[in-house]
Structure 1
Amino acid sequence: MKEEIAQIRGFNRFYTAHLGLLNEHILNGPYSLAEARILYEIGQRQPVTAQELTTLLGLDKGYLSKIIKMFSNDGVISRTPSKEDSRVFHITLSEDGSKLLRELQGKSDSQIEKILEKLSSDEADMLVNSMRTVENLLSADYSNQVLSRQVAYREGLKPGDVGYLIYLHGVLYARESGYSQEFEGYVVKTFYEFLEHYDIQKDKIWLATYNQQIIGCIAILSKPQNEAQLRWFLVHPVFRDTGVGKHLLSAALTHCREQQFSNVYLLTTDVQKKAIAMYKKAGFLPTASIQMEQWGKTLHEERYDLNLIDHN
């Protein structure tokens, strides 16, 4: 924890110094950073009340009242009594206020452009994605549901995807299930076999990504006798219990039904409790269990089947 605290403190010092946020006034304008932030929020949310601004920005009511009075005296805002409650005023930007805000935003955009000019497109993407993640993780209403709303889904593989999927399997199964590195070799072999016999018509793989990074996957492989095998179902721990796994599993089973497979099966081990619960909820039934020594563990390899004829 101490290392994380030190890193956050260091980042905060770097961030404020690098962007010049310690200056008394921002962008050579008439207002301080805090005042400009209030002006910006009024412009974004107008009409807005003082109470809403207080809650949104976490400001002292007395301090905000002074700022609102100053804005009113400067002619940058208008205050209109609420029809429901004359004690409440709806705040909007005046024409001068809107013009000032556009000027401040223009200057800010120019500053940011200068920062981005030093970066390649890949570096700019990395910066923006990292900032988005910081914003999400530190938001007042943070839960992993906040992150999951920005998850994107795609079908098929791009160069580098398989390598990253092997990495995810190796890291997560070692950390969570105690599997040895032999498991990673097994995953390498299964992906090699998949690519070697890939049938674009019946074999499918779906990926979930956050900030263009893979955080979940699932695949369906066609098998003889009109069967399909579900493979490589994985969701990064941060994104579990958010609906990502449910979305992937639904896409896979919908494909199986569209292809009119009679049965879909999967092989797993008894330690994958959460995944097994999802399989059972989707209608899979256990059909075989074998105790074996592999990947540095004593495991029960289990087979689950879903008869699609009976479930259609």
Structure 2
Amino acid sequence: MTEPTLLRRAEAVRRFNRFYTQHIGVLHEFLQKSPFSLTEVRVLRELALGTVSTATELARALGLDSGYLSRLLTSFERRQLITRRQSETDARQSLLEMTHAGRAAYAPLEVAAIDEVCGVLNALSAAGQEQLIAAMRIIERLLDRSPSRAPVSLRAPQAGEYGWLVHRQALLFGAQYGADMGFEAFATQEMAEFSRQPDRQRATCWIAEQQESIVGAALVAALSERAARMRLLYVEPESRGLGVGTLLVAQSIGFAQHAGYETLTLTTCGVLNDGRRVFERAGFNCVATEPERRFGRNLIAQTWERKL
């Protein structure tokens, strides 16, 4: 990545930070009328939700300094908002619990916060609300440095997602592998052919979803009466290494077997080394390789096959 490109992107992040900080300041105007700071409200919320029970868990969940958190909890205890009792399993830990007074103090803050967020959402159309939430999920997934432990589920595509998959893969292959507009034309044709499949018992599309964000996809359709082909398999870069590709390939094999095919094939290029390992573990064999000029690049086309 060239330095000017990185600087341009860094400035875009800073611009968003300024906008977001100002916007959040507006959202938290209700705090000016309460006896609690934003950090105190965050701590009370975690305790009210019951997601944490010790100071160590609170500090980890909210990214707070342990000394600062200790003073804050002491203040809460003095105001009779929480109680502490020694853990029966670890004498070094104290279990935290909100009192009735603590829940009563927090309840109007929760209502006010929800009302203010609903006010922001109500200014948008239903489609705009969904777009905003989807963008927030993407930001959260991309910036979360710890491997996600959230389960990955597979579902059928929804309206508009065929076109989105073409768009997304064209962006990724262009950015990662230097593919030109020819790849987008290829993906569009592949998707169009798939959408015209007459027998849905022998063709399917899997959408891999994690925390309500699309992290991958794969299509399976007839190549002949006895052979099926997997098409447009992809996994989002930040979700690779988490088993998403393995899950998509395994489900595709199971579907092809159930549909009565005898073989499952796929065609890829040599630059996708991560995919190669997934295919080999799933029992595929590379049966043909051929150099070709495609998508503005010199590639090695590979055909993989698995007996069913």
Residue 155 of structure 2 corresponds to residue 154 of structure 1: yes
Gap regions ≥5 residues in structure 1: none
Letter in 1 for 2:35: P
Worse-matched range after superposition: 275-284 or 17-26: 17-26
CA distance in 2, matches of 1:60, 1:176: 39
CA distance in 2, matches of 1:265, 1:128: 37
> Do the aligned residues in 1 keep the contact of 2:203 with 2:222 (CA within 8 Å)?
yes
DSSP 3-state at the match of 2:33: coil
Residue 17 of structure 1: CA displacement? 2.8
Worse-matched range after superposition: 263-272 or 55-64: 55-64
Residue 167 of structure 1: CA displacement? 2.2
**TM-score, length of structure 2 as denominator length:** 0.83
DSSP 3-state at the match of 1:20: helix
DSSP 3-state at the match of 1:194: helix
* Root-mean-square deviation over aligned CA pairs: 3.1
Q: Does the C-alpha gap of structure 1 residues 243 and 29 become closer, same or farther in structure 2, counting only changes over 3 Å?
A: same
Partner residue of 1:19 out of 20, 24, 33: 24
Letter in 2 for 1:187: A
Q: Deviations over 1:187-215 (max 9, x none)?
A: 33333333334321212221224576644
Worse-matched range after superposition: 157-166 or 207-216: 207-216
Q: Does the C-alpha gap of structure 1 residues 297 and 133 become closer, same or farther in structure 2, counting only changes over 3 Å?
A: closer
CA distance in 2, matches of 1:68, 1:183: 57
What pairs with 1:1-312 in structure 2 (closer than 5 Å)? 1-20=6-25, 26=31, 28-45=33-50, 48-83=53-88, 89-139=94-144, 142-143=145-146, 145-146=147-148, 149=150, 151-155=152-156, 157-209=157-209, 214-308=214-308
CA distance in 1, matches of 2:259, 2:29: 65
DSSP 3-state at the match of 1:26: helix
DSSP 3-state at the match of 1:19: helix
Q: Does the C-alpha gap of structure 1 residues 13 and 102 become closer, same or farther in structure 2, counting only changes over 3 Å?
A: same
Q: Deviations over 1:277-307 (max 9, x none)?
A: 2222211222223333333333333322212
DSSP 3-state at the match of 1:287: strand
DSSP 3-state at the match of 1:242: coil
DSSP 3-state at the match of 2:25: coil
> Do the aligned residues in 2 keep the contact of 1:47 with 1:92 (CA within 8 Å)?
no
DSSP 3-state at the match of 2:36: coil
Letter in 2 for 1:243: G
Letter in 2 for 1:154: R
DSSP 3-state at the match of 1:48: coil
**TM-score, length of structure 1 as denominator length:** 0.82
Residue 243 of structure 1: CA displacement? 1.2
Worse-matched range after superposition: 203-212 or 71-80: 203-212
Letter in 2 for 1:267: T
CA distance in 1, matches of 2:293, 2:28: 64
Q: Does the C-alpha gap of structure 1 residues 21 and 55 become closer, same or farther in structure 2, counting only changes over 3 Å?
A: farther
CA distance in 1, matches of 2:295, 2:58: 56
Residue 248 of structure 1: CA displacement? 0.8
